[in-house]
Structure 1
Amino acid sequence: MLTGPQIILTLKVLVAAVTVLFVGSLVALAADRKRLHGRINWVFFLLTMTTVFGFELLLRLGHDVTSQFTEDAKQALRIHLCFSIPSAVFLPVMLFTGTRRFRRLHLALGWMFCALWAGTFVTGIFFLPHE
Structure 2
Amino acid sequence: MYPPIFQTCKASPAVTALLGTTITRLWPFGEAPKDVELPYATWQTIGGLPENYLASAPDLDSFSLQIDIYASTATEARNVAKALRDVIEPVAYVTRWGGESRDPQTRHYRYSFDVDWHVHR
TM (norm. structure 2) is 0.29
Higher relative contact order (CA 8 A, sep 6+): 1
Structure with the higher strand share, 1 or 2: 2
Structure with the higher helix share, 1 or 2: 1
